[in-house]
Chains A and B, each alone.
Chain A
């Protein structure tokens, strides 16, 4: 190993320590695979569970539902109870069940204000019977997000802030930030709607690198699909066989 790489590695390790990633690795090691190697490769050890993640949709009608489905699919793969905090009444459980999140694992809290949503989220993060706490919120400031991040790190319960359509996205302490946009599927021979297709952007990834992928929406088990022929990958990697289903 040359001296240069040694210095670089030392610096990288220092940054990781600064970003508290070390404590994460040290204790829980819990990661959640997407099943899509390109996405999983964004982190040295995989997508960390015990952290705050932000998911937002494209500012269109179906953008927020795509973000909802992406979040539900995260919860679906975690195999335990998911607490969903919201102020609205539009969430439709049969749709979530179709993404692998059955009603037996879904606990819904309907709060009147967003302040209550945040308080319920923080309370939920203290309980290890949950695998994931989801909060539908419009605004999240730095302090609150840091509290959520710390609570999540402490208990190992994943925290997802599902951002409602909002003009400006302020800086937060989230470990990752995703943006999901529905996009037109490949041309079908027959005029039939197959599996939906998304543009998934990882805008921010602490201790990892960002990326953007054209992926198929989650299947009934909550796993994203990946077909490389259509991919516009930002990370140029080797060619993969066509229509690889993540599993």
Chain B
């Protein structure tokens, strides 16, 4: 047995068991032959997909991925938030993941495999001492040997005289220990996104001045755009990676709404982000990778402004704003076929073509409260619109009302909505302010109805 799923593990089946043994424990066990080549391919595909998190991703066979999060975590509002987001996306795609972030690849491996939680953000290297020696990526035989002489944790291993470790437990053990602690560098092979275009600048002397960095950006974008020009293509994602003299990376990532190979536009996007780069003791290598490449026909030079120009300008605008506040925060609203007001709208990409709109005969408020706010209501008759309601501590006398507009819950979305019936009223109070109230037609235990304020009209 190479790997088992949680259900099998619950039955007591472990990796490493012979199949006959496992079948003896659980006769109906489903066994599939291992396909290491297929697994490696899938892992590579997953690594490519993970390039959305960071430009530096490296597969760690058989079942791991390294993601270099240097200079990337702030895009996700923090390190923990980044890991939580990755975990959420993975679980949405039915992938079980244990994720850890640490100062060195070795430590991250240790925490992800032996940490107590599914998500770990390790602050220092000291806590590593508590983890078992197996967490050092050493072969099982060595680990067994260490275990037998009582060296069970990394902390215990660190207490041994340094010189004796290679002799007694192999050179590899010391190397792995140093790599985990950051005494030895560990180089990972980053995968290049498929169909990417790359330009590299290596400097004889490390550069650090802002003007030099700006010049580098201009040079790299010019070259990359010239490459794209030759193949009539445009990129939608640019990763600028600076390798510093101390072997760490500084990453700038920008995206565009449409494929682009306009050096002025692209370099502007990159330059805006340059203030996040800390050159430290200097930068030795600068790499610009353009990916998510798509065909882009040359543009006709028009003397008059045309619809194509307008679309082009709009795409540039979306990039500039997205670069500042996050690409997901520039959006359009698309109409969704749903009667529930909160479900009738959907966030879509700003370049989406929208042709459908909402039915014009149903009045809708300009601002919608989400979630609807509970209001206290006095109605003269149970089925009547309210005569009086109080919202946010203010009691309002109703002057006139329109309604009801009956909206039913959508049971196919949520079981809780099966019996949901809302009666919406447009209500004008005595000062002329207009509100959208609804009565939840499910009786409360006290045999009354709840009223909510859902929106404010103009």
A contact residues vs B (CB 8 Å cutoff): 60-66, 68-70, 72, 81, 83, 89-99, 102-104, 106-112, 116, 119-120, 123-124, 127-130, 182-185, 188, 191-193, 196-198, 217-218, 220
Contacts and interface: CB of A to CB of B under 8 A. Distances in A.
Interface in B309-337: 309-311, 313-314, 316-318, 320-321, 324-325, 329-335
B287 to A, nearest CB: 28
A103 B320 contact: no
Contacts of A93: 333, 345
Interface in B372-430: 391-392, 394, 399-402, 426-428, 430
A65 B341 CA distance: 17
A129 B310 contact: yes
Given A92-B345, A103-B335, A196-B434, 8 more contacts: A64-B367, A65-B365, A68-B367, A102-B357, A106-B333, A128-B310, A217-B458, A220-B360
The 9 A-B residue pairs whose C-beta atoms are closest, nearest first, are A69-B458, A62-B433, A93-B333, A92-B368, A129-B313, A184-B432, A95-B366, A94-B364, A127-B317
A184 B313 CA distance: 44
Contact of B332 (A60, A69, A107): A107
Interface centre among A188, A192, A217, A220 (most CB of B within 10 A): A192
B27 interface: no
B370 A89 contact: yes
A95 B365 contact: yes
Interface residues of B, number: 58
Given A90-B367, A92-B345, A183-B432, A109 B458 contact: no
A154 to B, nearest CB: 15
Main secondary structure of the interface of B (DSSP, over half): mixed
B400 A188 contact: yes
Given A110-B329, A196-B432, A95 B317 contact: no
Contacts of A60: 431, 433
Contact of B350 (A107, A120, A217): A107
19 contacts: A60-B433, A65-B366, A68-B458, A72-B366, A90-B369, A92-B366, A95-B457, A99-B458, A109-B325, A109-B330, A110-B330, A112-B325, A120-B324, A128-B310, A130-B314, A182-B432, A184-B432, A193-B400, A198-B458
B373 to A, nearest CB: 11
